[in-house]
Structure 1
Amino acid sequence: MTDLPLATVHGLYHIAIKTDDLAATRTFWTAIIGLREFPRPDFGYPGAWLGCPQPGGLGIIHVYAGGPALGPEGKAPAGTAAIDHVSLSCSGYRSYVSRFKAAGLDWREFIVPGTSLWQLFVYDPSGVQLELTFECGGEGEEKPDMSPGRKYVAGASFFDKATYPKLA
């Protein structure tokens, strides 16, 4: 059996923002704030990945419009509700799954299309969605569980305050 890395947070990976106006949001973050656009995988709905402009700069803002960005009224939320999730760059995929199980937390798993990135999604007690993102190299042979009910589906909440475990 291969030794897998310990659960370790390496930093903020990105913030995801929902929008009704992708063009205006892209313009704000690039022309006004000064981020640059990065290549984005085809998730099946429009969006943009924006990041720090220096060489090797990190993509820190993900914007998406349409599809999972739209709420029940067919519009993206505004204000702080426009922040969909916080993403952290991590290692120790299976260690986190073990921690979730031990705490009685529900979670979802995902493989980002066309990349070597694996993801875990979980909620904090306040219902803030957290995405932990992993470079799959060094995370072992067992791939994320992409079966129905375990696979992450963008825009589909699995937070239930009534059944959330008591963490103390």
Structure 2
Amino acid sequence: MTIQRLDHFTIRTERWDETAAFFAHVIGLQPGPRPAFRFPGHWLYASGKPILHIVSMTEDRAELEAYLGVKTPQPGGGSIDHVSLRGDDLGATQQHFVALNIAFRERVIPEVGEHQLFVEDPNGITVEIIFPYSPAAKIVGQAMPTLEVAEPWEQRHD
């Protein structure tokens, strides 16, 4: 078996409309069609594919729990540490966050060719967006500490 890519992730939340608005307006996913489930929610798309399923933790959860099972809501997504997405146009994304007054952190990891931005969604889930590294790129958000690498990436993964 070989895993090819992330298919989608699902967030259960009482703040389902706010969460959908965040991922649409801040992250840039597009709202799209969703099957006629018997519980409220949203599907958001990237490149024509539904990658985020948001389900409402309404007071009447019978239909949701019949479909997905019972889960206790946990701040920050419980065992999810973060969700990582690939992006393009680092500068435009940084300026988009600044224009929206969205706090974000960022880190550069030249050894793996990445420039990472981190934001928090309305539920406290960290969303990472990875861009190709460029020596000319500037840190605009809150700079995160540079990670000390014990040995070059190439040597660890040969």
- Structure 1 length as normaliser, TM-score? 0.37
Query: Which of these two proteins has the greater Rg computed from alpha carbons?
Result: 2
> Is the helix fraction higher in 1 or 2?
2
